[in-house]
Amino acid sequence: YGWYWKEQIEALRSEGYRVVVKDRLGWGKSSKPILPYSMSLHASNTAQLMEHLGISQAAIVGHSIGGQMATRFAFLYPEMTTHLVTVNQIGLTDGRAGRGYRPFTGQINAEPDPQSVYESAVRTDMRRYVNWKPEFIDHLRIRYGQSLSGDWPRLAYVRSLGGNLRGMDTVVDDWPHIQTKTLIL
């Protein structure tokens, strides 16, 4: 998903900022261990990465579910967070009410039909964007390619493990405790 941050990253770098972009555990090209994923786990991994890089404080920026994770980071690690910016963040409300918990059964489609995967990816992207632009096809290709790669069974399994993050690991109660300067877009 980082491809659409390319221009923002370059703009920040050209202004002299150090920009660190990470591939979260279980996402993208990172390793995909079988474990219970949570916002707190991702926040802890970010803190460990910052410590490893010798970064004691930073402005934390996140988009969509990344905004939800950035919020949890600011809540758990206020001493490391100078500013918080969330863009189109999910989890600004408590999505648990009436949803019911759906435990992961371990059932995945290990051999998806390529045409069905492509059509599903197109439908998903068309719902995401008000004004579809041709360059969005790159994002579609990334997701489509992952679904057809040899890594798909494990990726599908890990996605299922983390599937409840969006609605069940809410950060709405974190907000009253966040004191850092925050911009919500």
Task: Count CB-CB contacts under 10 A for residue 28.
Answer: 14
CB 117 within 8 Å of CB 152: no
Answer whether 42's CB lies under 8 Å from 25's CB: yes
86 backbone dihedrals φ, ψ, rounded to 5°:
-120, 140
pLDDT of residue 103: 67
CA dihedral 156, 158, 160, 162 (to 10 degrees): -140
DSSP three-state, residue 175:
helix
One-character DSSP codes across 23-54 = --TTSTTS---SS---HHHHHHHHHHHHHHTT
Question: What's the pLDDT at 110?
Answer: 66
Instruction: Output the pTM of the full model.
Output: 0.81
Which residues does the chain have with pLDDT short of 70?
A: 1-3, 101-106, 110, 143, 162-167
Domain boundaries, the chain: 1-102+168-185, 106-163
CATH of 1-102+168-185, one of 3.40.50.1820, 3.40.190.10, 3.40.50.300, 3.40.47.10: 3.40.50.1820
pLDDT at residue number 163: 67
pLDDT digits (tens, 9 = 90+) for 126-155: 787 778 787 777 777 776 777 777 777 777
Q: How many Cβ atoms sit within 10 Å of the Cβ of residue 37?
A: 22
